[in-house]
Amino acid sequence: MINFEQYKVLTFDCYGTLIDWENGILTALKPLLFVHGINLNDDQILEKFAKFEADIQKKEYIKYKEVLSRVYQKFGEQFAFEPDSKELYSLADSIKNWLPFPDTVEALQSLKKKYKLAIISNVDDDLFAFSAQHLKVEFDWIITAEQVKSYKPSINNFRVAIERIDLPIEQILHVACSIYHDIIPAKSLGLSTIWVNRRAGQAGTGATLPVVAQPDLEVPDLQTLESGIYSSLT
Residues with catalytic roles? 13
CA 35 – CA 32 distance, rounded (Å): 5
Which DSSP string corresponds to 34-54?
Answer: HHTT----HHHHHHHHHHHHH
Which DSSP string corresponds to 180-212?
Answer: IIIIHHHHHTT-EEEEE-TTTTSSS-TTS----
Q: DSSP code of 217?
A: E
CB 190 within 8 A of CB 169: yes
Q: Which residues contact 184 (CB under 8 A, 6 or more apart)?
A: 153, 211, 213
